[in-house]
Structure formats: structure tokens, C-alpha cells
Copies of this chain bind each other. A is one copy, B any other.
Amino acid sequence: MTVRRPTINDVARHAGVSPSTASVVFSGKTAVSDTTRQRVLDAAGSLGYTGPDPRAASLRRGRSGIVGVVFEEHLGAAFLDPVKTLMMDGLTDGVASLGAGLLLLRDQAPLGTEPTLTTAPLDAAVLVGCSGMLRESLDAVQARGIPVVVIEGDAGDGIPQIQLDNREAQRQAASHLRTLGHTQVALVTLPARAGWVRGRLAADERITIDVTRERLAGAREVFPEAPAYAAQGSSIDEGLAAGRALLTDPATRPTAVLAQSDLLAAGVIRAAEELGLRVPQQLSVTGFDGIVVDGLAPYELTTLVQPAAEKGRAAGQAIAAMLAGQTAASIRFTCVFRVGNTTGPRS
């Protein structure tokens, strides 16, 4: 049989002090005489008491020290994206400084079980992504009256959001290319919608993924007529496919490609290599994100460095503010344009 685990009461009795004194020994909220402390710790040791039960403590405190992170996709998919990984890193920091930990939650509740989002003891929640499924999660959390922050998603008013100047930033890269003399420019974008299959992007295509739409708009401010190819995700392989599609025919070959992510850009560069095109002499390529692309050396992408980790950290701070009863404002981060060795004057 399971022996009942000792409680702080048992410890106190064993040590000959009151429960509150014992409690204080563990929490450190009040000064306790050394002799008393020692007695309590000894008692705890001999009883095998390992500290306050977190469940009871969180009920009493009204705080669990847990922040939920909701992803709309499989975790594997989420972490394939280096930007999200960095963001998680920052988020970990951000909530740690708040004394909380991260609970990974998946949006799509498996059938048969209750959605953990509504049953987990959360102090706050962070939603990552931008699709419609997020909507339900948002409602669920809001119904519980828990502070929510949305990263890169379109939540309604009143919800702090962490955003990026996608359009502005992309416009900057486009201007850079124009300054270099490029006029034949092609775009490689992220997926237009969930479930998108890679292919040319029609001018009137409905684009439901915010990031894609915004960055595209930025590029189009400078190159309104540039042909666009939307990848199926953000990866080198996708960029390679896009690059082949855009670069193979010499007749329609652009002199520069604006990719919406560094991974896509890396793939485009590979495609160029395949075709014997030299970068940046014969083809300029820009990326977006400013991550370190594994295996891309010696190229150094001309790209827009986004403060990925900062985004996560900011989300943590927003949560801290909300938990403190203040209202947190949305934050809009700015990318920094970095010139590498993948862009050059039109030849």
C-alpha cells in the first residue's frame, strides 16, 4: 500500500513546532531561529519530507508558476523552424525571470481526452502561430480569464501581441536590390495558406498566412510585377524546388531572388549552384530571419535579422505585467537589414 506521504503538519509535529513555523522554514518568508530551522529540517529528513506539495501550494497561492505554450502544429514541425526555436529560447528566459516554467500544449486535442488547455493549472498562456484553429484556443483561454499573449498571430484587440515589421523590412531588402540595379526580380514566399502545395502564386491568390502576406506586400512595394513562387514550408529543400522553378529557363531567369526566409534563400542558392550560376555575380539572393543556416558557409546571406529570441522574451515580460494586474501593450519589433555576400550589382 502507498504510505501516505508526510505533510508539513507531520514534520511540524515531529519537530515540536507549529505547522506555520515549519512552513516558514521552507518558504523563507520570515526569519526563523537557527535552532528551530535545524529541528524542522531534521524532522523533515527523518520523515522523508521533500518540501511542500506544489499542488497545495499553488491552490493556496493562486499561482502555479506554469505558463502554457500552445502550438498549432506538431511540435516536430514547429521546431523544424529555427526561428521558432530561438523564440522558444527567449520565451524560456522570459518566463523564467517571472519564476515560471513552460508547459508545451498542442492545439489539436486528441480525441477522447479533454483539451489540456482548459484543464491545466496555467497562470498564463502564449499562443504561437496564426491560423484559425488558434481562434478556439484563444476563446478557451479567455473564458478562463487567464492572461494571454499572441506571438505572430492575429488576435483581437485587447490581447497583447508580439509582432514584426515584416512589410517594412522586406521592402528594405527589395530597395537594396533595386539600388544594385536589379529589375528582373523573383520572389520566393512562405506558404499562402495552411495545406498549400508549392507553386506559382497567382496575382489574386488568397493569402491567409499573415507573415507571407505582409512580406509579400513589402516586396511588391518595390517590385509590383515580380513573379512569386510560394513554397510549401520553410526549408532548404523547398527553396531548392522554388529555385529550380524560377531559374531553370534562361529566358525568364531573374537576376535576383527575394526569399521570405533564410532557409528558402539557402535552397535558392543551391539551385543556382546546380545550374552553374554564381552567387552573387550572376544571381543575388536575399533571405529573411537572420539565423545561422547550418551548412551554408561560405555564403553569408544578405538578410533581415529579426530579434527572434527577443520576441519570446518580450512575451514573457508582457505576461509578467498582466499577472501583476497591469495591462500589457502589444510590441512591434523591427528587423535589422544585414548585407552579406549573396547580393551584388546586376551584372
Residues of B within 8 Å of A266, CB to CB, are: 295
Residues of B within 8 Å of A22, CB to CB, are: none
Contact B88 A116 (CB under 8 A): no
Residues of B within 8 Å of A145, CB to CB, are: 5, 50
- Considering the complex, which residues of chain A in the window 74-130 have a beta carbon less than 8 Å from any beta carbon of chain B? 74-76, 79-80, 82, 85-86, 88-89, 92-93, 95-106, 109-110, 112-116, 118-122
A104 in complex: contacting residue of B64, B92, B270, CB < 8 Å: B92
A119 in complex: contacting residue of B65, B82, B116, B236, CB < 8 Å: B65
A76's closest neighbor in chain B, by CB? Answer: B89
Known A103-B103, A144-B50, A295-B236: A96·B121 in contact at CB below 8 Å:
no
A297 in complex: contacting residue of B96, B143, B240, CB < 8 Å: B240
Q: Is A48 part of the binding interface, using a Cβ–Cβ cutoff of 8 Å?
A: yes
Known A121-B64, A295-B266: A114·B85 in contact at CB below 8 Å:
no
A106 in complex: contacting residue of B59, B92, B98, B143, CB < 8 Å: B92
Contact B237 A295 (CB under 8 A): yes
Q: Is A263 part of the binding interface, using a Cβ–Cβ cutoff of 8 Å?
A: yes
Contact B79 A85 (CB under 8 A): yes
> What number of A residues sit within 8 Å (CB to CB) of B?
69
Nearest Cβ on chain B to A293's Cβ, whole angstroms: 9
A114 in complex: contacting residue of B65, B116, B122, B240, CB < 8 Å: B65
Contact B118 A51 (CB under 8 A): yes
Q: Is A38 part of the binding interface, using a Cβ–Cβ cutoff of 8 Å?
A: no
Which of A48, A57, A114, A263 has the largest number of chain B CB atoms within 10 A?
A: A114
Q: Is A179 part of the binding interface, using a Cβ–Cβ cutoff of 8 Å?
A: no
Q: Is A260 part of the binding interface, using a Cβ–Cβ cutoff of 8 Å?
A: no
Copies of this polypeptide in the complex: 2
A270's closest neighbor in chain B, by CB? Answer: B295
Per DSSP, chain A at the interface is mixed
Complex Cα distance, B122 from A121, in Å, reads: 11
A112 in complex: contacting residue of B82, B99, B110, CB < 8 Å: B99
Q: Is A56 part of the binding interface, using a Cβ–Cβ cutoff of 8 Å?
A: yes
Complex Cα distance, B115 from A104, in Å, reads: 14
Interface residues in chain A, defined as those with a beta carbon under 8 Å from any beta carbon in chain B: 2, 5, 48, 50-51, 53-59, 62, 64-66, 68, 74-76, 79-80, 82, 85-86, 88-89, 92-93, 95-106, 109-110, 112-116, 118-122, 143-145, 235-237, 240, 263, 266-267, 270, 294-295, 297, 309, 325
Not counting A80-B294, A235-B295, a sample of 7 additional A-B residue pairs whose C-beta atoms are within 8 angstroms of each other reads A54-B115, A57-B119, A99-B119, A101-B114, A235-B294, A237-B294, A263-B294
